[in-house]
Amino acid sequence: MAIAALDVLHHELKRNEDVGVVGFDDVSQSAWAAYQLTTGRQDLAPMIDSTVALLCEQMSGDLRRADIVIPCTLVERATVRR
């Protein structure tokens, strides 16, 4: 979605210098020279582990947690100002 927003800002609205865009999941296209999208990165393994643990708790009727926090790293590129 963020990459599509960058395309619209640049090609249709001609406004890519005064708008900041931040994506999520750090997909490989984020680092492409045409985009250089600032993005958040989460490791997949903790997301999978937490999802499996939550499903197991729900299936056993022993749901103890309401929130799961998985660390995220900001990958700064060219789509935001410092």
Q: Each residue of 4-63: pLDDT tens digit? A: 999 999 999 988 678 899 999 999 999 999 999 999 999 999 999 999 988 998 899 887
Class of residue 38 by CB neighbours under 10 A (exposed 0-12, middle 13-18, buried 19+)? buried
Domain range holding 39?
2-75
Please tell me the predicted confidence (pLDDT) of residue 79.
93
For residue 41, list its beta bridge partners: 73
Q: Kindly report the CA angle at 4 between 3 and 8, in degrees rounded to 5?
A: 120
Whether 81 is in a domain gets the answer: no
Question: How far apart are the C-alpha atoms of 35 and 28, rounded to whole Å?
Answer: 11
Whether 82 is in a domain gets the answer: no
For residue 74, list its beta bridge partners: 40
- Give the DSSP H/E element, type plus range, for residue 75: strand 73-75
At 42 the three-state DSSP class reads coil
Please tell me the predicted confidence (pLDDT) of residue 42.
93
How many structural domains is the chain composed of? 1
